[in-house]
Structure 1
């Protein structure tokens, strides 16, 4: 039996943060019902490329769920949803603050229907504060929290290639707090309201910078700290064949061996050596040879060095195969592709290795008065 088997999750969210959160709950055994707009459904269904009728993004994020289409603005929408709300355990939504209240589905209204419900709102800025109702995307949350300002190349911030706010600031904290709330409900018999703000949760990723700033007023700037580009020991160096070496020999034991392997002069190895000069000296030596050369040099050595892989190379890595990371599949439009890995431990996942994302309004729940 899976740990969340028997739990009903009503998911009013679209796109990424909420659907990722409910995917994790579904992987752990919960029944997840998406409440979607009639005709179009979740906006992500329309994205490209397609896998069957819907986008591959939608298929990856919504496998193993069910779908009910309902116009939330209809006068009878709340009444029609009431039977589901009465037996639901979790509700997830990510509208801007105030929208669910206007629809008659705000927490206080829903709590009167089902006081045991765990109600989770995911937004960019949270339910309170001067930015609460402001529009934003991942890039905006990174920019305004200071995270983007820590990155840089040539004096310009680097556009992140991961949606850290949506997933690390939204989906993962939502699941964490939903599980806390369900545990608390086991003791009290009552649900609660969860205000998950993606921007708030980005600050956790900058613990070291906050420590430097709060403790010594040494606030980090752009790419000037140990793990952001200020050190030769945590750096990306180009190779002779146009690829890159990700070198992270931070600790002395790793650094000394790394220096031996690239034949760095003794004067460049000490803590007192100017960082920019050391970076230049290391870079000059790395760029003399190809990535294949350096892969062979560092193979089996304890130096924390890697050749930067493409995504295609990454998913085909022997480690990924050994961990069976892409063993599960999603089925859509007569095609099967590897399913999106979720952080649910294999112990808690179902035995089913292939699941599909729901077609819009495919679920016919007898308790929903349609």
Structure 2
């Protein structure tokens, strides 16, 4: 549903959280215009980040494919005129420009306040009152969530989580904050200046899934990180993997019946030792990807191939 159709957002950000916020809004129907410097573009497609990791240009494409990309010379006076034309239509701004560039282009706070337009302006930061740098991995470590990821691991070097979870969370929070600011701007007829923070967004959204009481009680192994046999990832005989999420009794029973396993429903939550895990694993190790694909086609039991 294009719930934001007719709204215009200027995405003046780069890399991950800001462009992700813009993508969320574009996917909801907003017209999102990503404005970049014609020389430096976005770090995901130009410079260090683009050069060090081949995935980043593809991330850029995915995050921005539903936007209009406009590249202008941030040092050219004509660019200021163009920016003012865009501002005249804008309902929201995702800010990521350095202060001097904002001043030159007329998108600094003082200029926006003088325009007296009901615009929602959001700027993204790492953490309140923090002067040092912070990336996704730092945020997850600082809020404590990363401890769950390394639970039970003993390697000297541990690969980070497969996705920048905190950054993704932050991008969605920024989109939500911007929409809330748009509502407030519409109500007050004034520009709303919003600050959103990586650490606080991660703590607010991810923190509840490892609550203080769980930490105090030493609860670190749960359903979603491998406590139970019914909810885990198993290797197949051809080297592929299958994800089993047969939490409900009906799904567990169908899984057992279709694979020939004889394990009582209550034992799907057995975690005192590895005995049930091993039985389920042995069954999966006897199956190929083709076998599992057939099982999925014939049964509704929350089973998927990786």
TM range (shorter): 0.7 to 0.9
Corresponding residue of 2:217 = 218
State the alpha-carbon separation in 2 of the partners of residues 62 and 121 from structure 1.
Answer: 18
Counting matched residue pairs gives 292
Q: Counterpart of 1:151 in 2: which secondary structure?
A: helix
Aligned residue number for residue 243 of structure 1: 240
Which residue among 127, 133, 144 is the counterpart of 1:135? 133
Report if aligned partners of 1:86, 1:114 keep a CA contact under 8 Å in 2.
no
Work out whether 1:65 is the aligned partner of 2:77.
Answer: no
SS of the aligned residue for 1:177 comes to: helix
Runs of at least 5 residues in structure 1 that lack an aligned partner in the other structure: 309-370
Cα pair 2:122 2:195 within 8 Å, conserved = yes
Q: What is the CA–CA distance in structure 2 between the aligned matches of 1:147 and 1:118, rounded to whole Å? A: 31
Deviation of residue 13 (structure 1)? 0.7
**Cross-structure match for 2:169:** 168
Tell me the equivalent position of 1:254.
Answer: 251
Contact 1:33 1:68 in 2 (8 A): no
Instruction: Identify which of 142, 147, 150 aligns with 2:148.
Output: 150
Alpha-carbon separation, structure 2, partners of 1:5 and 1:248: 37
> Cα deviations across residues 178-231 of structure 1 (Å, max 9, x unaligned)?
222222333222231222223323332353321xx337832543xx21211121
Query: Deviation at 1:118?
Result: 0.7
CA distance in 1, matches of 2:72, 2:43: 13
Alpha carbons of structure 1 residues 26 and 227: separation in structure 2 relative to 1, 3 Å:
closer
Distance 1:60 1:86, change over 3 A: same
Partner residue, 2:17? 17
Partner of 2:305: 307
- Compute the TM-score of the two structures, normalised by the length of structure 2: 0.77
Contact 1:150-1:220 within 8 A present in 2 as well: no
Q: 1:287 aligns with which of 280, 285, 301?
A: 285
Higher relative contact order (CA 8 A, sep 6+): 1
Query: In the alignment, which residue of structure 2 is the partner of 1:100?
Result: 99
Task: Quote the offset at 1:145 in angstroms.
Answer: 2.2
Question: Distance in 1 between the 2:35 and 2:302 partners?
Answer: 46
Give the gaps of 5 or more residues in structure 2: none
The answer as to whether partners of 1:11 and 1:92 remain within 8 angstroms in 2 is: yes
What do the CA deviations read for 1:230-261 (whole angstroms, capped 9, x no partner)?
Answer: 21121111111111121111123323333343
- Residue 195 of structure 1 corresponds to 195
Deviation at residue 276 of structure 1 after TM alignment: 2.2
What CA distance in whole angstroms lies between the structure 1 residues aligned with 2:265 and 2:83?
72
The structure carrying a bigger helix percent of its residues is 2
2:115 aligns with 113
- Could you say what secondary structure the match of 2:134 adopts? coil
1:75 deviates by 9.7
Given the alignment of the two structures, is residue 122 of structure 1 paired with residue 109 of structure 2, yes or no? no
Q: Distance in 1 between matches of 2:91 and 2:64?
A: 19
In 2: Cα distance, 1:272 partner to 1:123 partner: 44
Q: Is contact 1:87–1:114 with CA below 8 Å preserved after alignment?
A: no
Q: SS of 1:44's equivalent?
A: coil
- Displacement of 1:305 in angstroms is 1.5
Give the CA deviation at 1:272. Answer: 5.7
TM-score, structure 1 length as denominator?
0.66
Paired with 1:271 and 1:155, the residues of 2 have a C-alpha distance of 22
